[in-house]
Structures are given as C-alpha cells and as structure tokens.
A and B are shown apart, each in its own frame.
Chain A
Amino acid sequence: MDLRVQLPGLNLKNPIMPASGCYGFGREFSELYDLSTLGAIMIKAATPMARFGNPLPRVAETPNGMLNAIGLQNPGVDKIMNTELPWLDGYDVPIIANVAGSTLEDYVHVAKTICEAPNVHALELNISCPNVKEGGIAFGTCPQTAALLTRAVKEVSTVPVYVKLSPNVTDIVAIAKAVEAAGADGLTMINTLLGMRLDLHTGKPILANQTGGLSGPAIKPVAIRMIHQVYPHVNIPIIGMGGISTTEDVLEFLYAGASAVAVGTMNFVDPYICPNLIEQLPATLAKYGLTSIEEAIGRSHR
C-alpha cells in the first residue's frame, strides 16, 4: 500500500515520525534501526544559545503517561547546525526543526539560521513548551501573540512553518485560525498538558520545576478532540501527536483530521516503535477497509 503523504515542504515516505524532544537528534535510535525508514524526524528544540535545562528530577510517571520538565536542554542552534544536522544528512529523511526561545528575536534568529541547513525541510514553531519561564507557552496561549510570532518567523524562513499548538488554552480554534491567518503552512498538535505530582513523604512536588508536561497514552483523547475541533476551521494540514502507541491510534488521529502523526513518549518505552508502526500500518488500514492514507484523513468529518 502506498503510504506516501505530501505536505508543505515535506514529501513523506509514510505518515510516521518521531516527535520533538522524544528523540534527541536521532543518534541513539540510529544504533537500533535505519533512520531513513522514517517519514520525517522532528528534532529536539533549538534555542540561540546552549541550555542545560531544569534541575532534577525532571520526570515522573503518571497513570498511562508521564510528566516531564526537561526545560529545552539543547546544545544551541550553531552546534546543531555544525554537528547534528550534517550528521543527519547521511540519512534519506526530511528534518523538521523545532524552533524555541525566550523572546521574539530568539525565535527569529533560530528560524533564520536553521532553515539554511539543506536537510531542514520545515520548521516547527514551539510556542507551547510549558517548562520554561520565558517564551514557550506564553506565546502560544494568546491568539494575537501567536500570530505576531508566526508572522515574524514566516518573514525570515525559507522553508514552510508549522506551528505547534498548546492544549493548555480555552479556545484552541481561535489560536489555530490566528496562526493560519498569520501565514502558518501547517499545524502540529498537541504539545503536553500542564500537570503536577506530589511526593507522599515530603508533600512537595516531585518535579524540581514543580509543574511538568503530561504526555503519553493518557492524553490521546484530548489530542483527538482538539484536532477534530480545529480541522473544519483551517485549510492548512495538521500533524497530530499525543499518546500514540499503536497503528489503531494512528488511524484515529488521521480520522480526526491529521495528515501525518508524530510519536513521542512511546519512543522511551519501545525504541523500535516508529519502524514497527510503519511496518504494521498497511495491515491496519486494510483491516478497516481503507486503500490509502488519503481515505483516512478527516474521515470523521465526512
């Protein structure tokens, strides 16, 4: 079965890719399988300068999910340009570069720099990271600010720009429409849900950052609902993510309106999950009477 999907800037061999922040720059997984089998790779967020991230503990388990507060740890955009992206160029796989920062100028600088890499085929504007004090989610919870940032990045980027939406908002449709009007080429959704766990002995939050982003199968229904909600209101494609662990999950995301999907947390549990899903997807599509990916996209709306 033909699994190819065409999206702005991206000719995907298949609709499966690892999500940003759950895959580093792919090095650890390249020891396990050929990265060229992936539809694309969403690399770890880049900021202008290197960031160590938050104090430990940074993760805590939850029922069917996990909380994380890594805090955008990354080696900085220049090092990513000079070492990680050239290394990834050895694989036949398009890269979606996640762009982050504390100020509008940070985002513009990173976007302008990283889109010059030949294998970066699209940007993912991270206006939804809940684990940094400045920037991140602050840009993604207000339609006007999100639009302003999208417009600024669109002006400097030579590749299509996808905006990663936060689920921690009252009206996600308003944000989606605002970034589309500002020129976004696509949406990726959803980022993590803000959460907290307390230590029963100390009574204090387990995470040093106190709050963290909830991910994993626990958030899948929220992601499905939000994609389903946004899809009829926009004319740009959606890459869906949030707790995907099976090919049935992939199908549900496509039905809701996603044109491709990203796998996040489950890479930590089963490092082979992406190639396994790619291999199993045709059989699952056939099982539900589908002959192409196209037929599945947005099926819930027809």
Chain B
Amino acid sequence: MITEQVQVLTNRKIAEATYEMVLQAEMASKMKPGQFVNLKIDGFLLRRPISICQYDQFKHTFTIIYKVVGDGTKKLTTLQSGDSLDCMGPLGNHFPIEKETTAILVGGGVGVPPLYETAKQLIAANTQVTVVLGFADRAAAFYVEAFKQLGAIVYVATDNGTLGTHGRVTNVIANENLQAEYIYACGPEAMLRALETHFEKGYLSFEARMACGIGACMACVCKDRQDTDLYYRICKEGPVFPVGKVGF
C-alpha cells in the first residue's frame, strides 16, 4: 500500500449517475484484479473506497467506475484532466486467476467494475468466461460491449426488464442453465448469498462501509461461516473470499 497524488487523465459519464475515471499512478504497477483504492475528496473527511476496474502496469494507469451516491462522489464528477487526487492503494486481497477452466462472472451495479480486469486476466489464462451483469435498468447499464470485446459471453439482467432478462442475475443463471467450474462475483450481500446456492467453488467480493481501508477501524467486519468467534476485515482479509467462507 502506498499513498500517492494520482493524476486524472479522463473523467466521463458512461451511464445514469455512473462515471469512468482514468488515472495516472505509480501504484498501478502493483495492482491485482479485485483490489481497491481509497480516495480523499476535497471537503470530505473520510476516504471513499472504490474498486479498480482495470489497470496498465506498463503505462502506469488505472480505471475506476463510480456511482454518484452522495455529495462526495458528486464532487468527484467535477474533477477534470490534470487535476490530482490523494489516493491510497492498492488495498485488500484479490481474485485468484484460475487457468484453463470455465468461469461465470457475476456483477451487480457497482460490483461490475472489478470483474472487468478479472475477465481480462482469466481470458488471457485460457479460461472460458461467461459474464452476467445486473443493473437497475437500461440507463444504468455499462461495459456490456466492453466485456464482449474481451471475448466473454455476456448476459444482462435489469430490475425492470428494459435491457436483457427482466429480473435478477440469478434468474439468468437459472433460465440459461449456466454452469462453470468457478464463480467470480461482486455485489450486494443478498446477491452473493443467492449465488452460493448455485455454485460450490469460486470467489465472492464483498462491499461494506469502511472508514480506514487498512484494517484498523473494525467498521467492515464479517464472521467466518463455521467458527463464529473468527472474523475477517473486508478491507484487509477481503474483499475477496472463497465461496462458503463468510457467515452471512
């Protein structure tokens, strides 16, 4: 983990209340798929944890996709090329890349971004990738084409049916009878819990309110499935846990 002033290269709206920001940063050379950064936004006390969507270790750039949920992320949308940001990262553990197998990647809303670099690396490792993306509606959808261009088979589910399957990501998995050796997922806890009934092997990335992002504040803890005295910090031991490890 390092703290660095990172430079904004681009910051553009890609869907309803959703922005993609590309940053120039030395720390890009240390990133792994599924990790996150913790950004300081002027005028706000706590940092904002945001997952890494993709990175280029040679050009020292990385991309984040964030949704405007409050005043802090709204402020983030005003940054322009040339502006800088106080950034801590890369933080947390990462998605292990399983080689020469099959994988289904499932993302819900802002859980979609970390799956992009993961898909890229899985495909490079000769793993056959199917992606299921869940959004509120058509206007909120993003990166559907980008995943296709990586060579993944892509399905979409929207809550109101304006794009893809009407319903949830788990409806798509059931309807299409999607099967694979590994599941890779990121999104709200209810989605992760539902996915555990379909898959035995794979990795789930958890979302949580955090304060420090480095394991000190104990704001983002979860319990072990078997040993209820054992707990994990989502920011430090996570955010990625093997299927079956976390007690919901």
Contacts and interface: CB of A to CB of B under 8 A. Distances in A.
Contacts, number: 84
A31 interface: yes
B45 A61 contact: yes
A66 B208 contact: no
Interface stretch (B24-32, B55-63, B218-226): B218-226
B167 interface: no
Contacts of A257: none
Interface residues of B, number: 27
Given A23-B216, A268-B216, A65 B209 contact: no
A58 interface: yes
B40 to A, nearest CB: 7
B3 interface: yes
Given A52-B221, A66-B45, A60 B216 contact: no
B46 interface: yes
A271 interface: yes
A29 B214 CA distance: 9
The A contact surface, by secondary structure, is: loop
Interface string B57-81: 0000000000000001000000000
B139 interface: no
A198 interface: no
Contacts of A57: 208-209, 219
A59 B219 contact: yes
A271 B217 CA distance: 11
B16 to A, nearest CB: 17
B6 to A, nearest CB: 16
A271 B1 CA distance: 11
Given A31-B1, A269-B46, A68 B211 contact: yes
B138 interface: no
Nearest to A71: B218
B216 A267 contact: yes
B217 A68 contact: yes
Interface string A65-80: 1101010010000000
A24 interface: yes
Nearest to A245: B45
Given A28-B236, A70-B219, A60 B47 contact: no
A223 to B, nearest CB: 16
B219 A61 contact: no
B45 A70 contact: no
A271 B45 contact: no
Contact of A268 (B3, B211, B222): B211
A216 B45 CA distance: 8
Given A23-B216, A56-B221, A217-B45, A50 B210 contact: no
Interface of A: 22-24, 27-29, 31-32, 50, 52-53, 56-62, 64-66, 68, 70, 73, 216-217, 265, 267-272
12 contacts: A22-B217, A27-B215, A28-B216, A50-B229, A57-B208, A58-B209, A59-B219, A60-B209, A61-B45, A268-B46, A269-B46, A271-B88
5 smallest beta-carbon distances between A and B, as pairs: A268-B212, A59-B219, A268-B211, A57-B209, A28-B215
Interface of B: 1, 3, 40, 44-47, 72, 88, 208-212, 214-223, 229, 231, 236
Given A57-B209, A66-B46, A73-B218, 10 more contacts: A27-B215, A28-B236, A32-B1, A52-B229, A56-B220, A59-B219, A61-B72, A269-B47, A270-B3, A271-B214
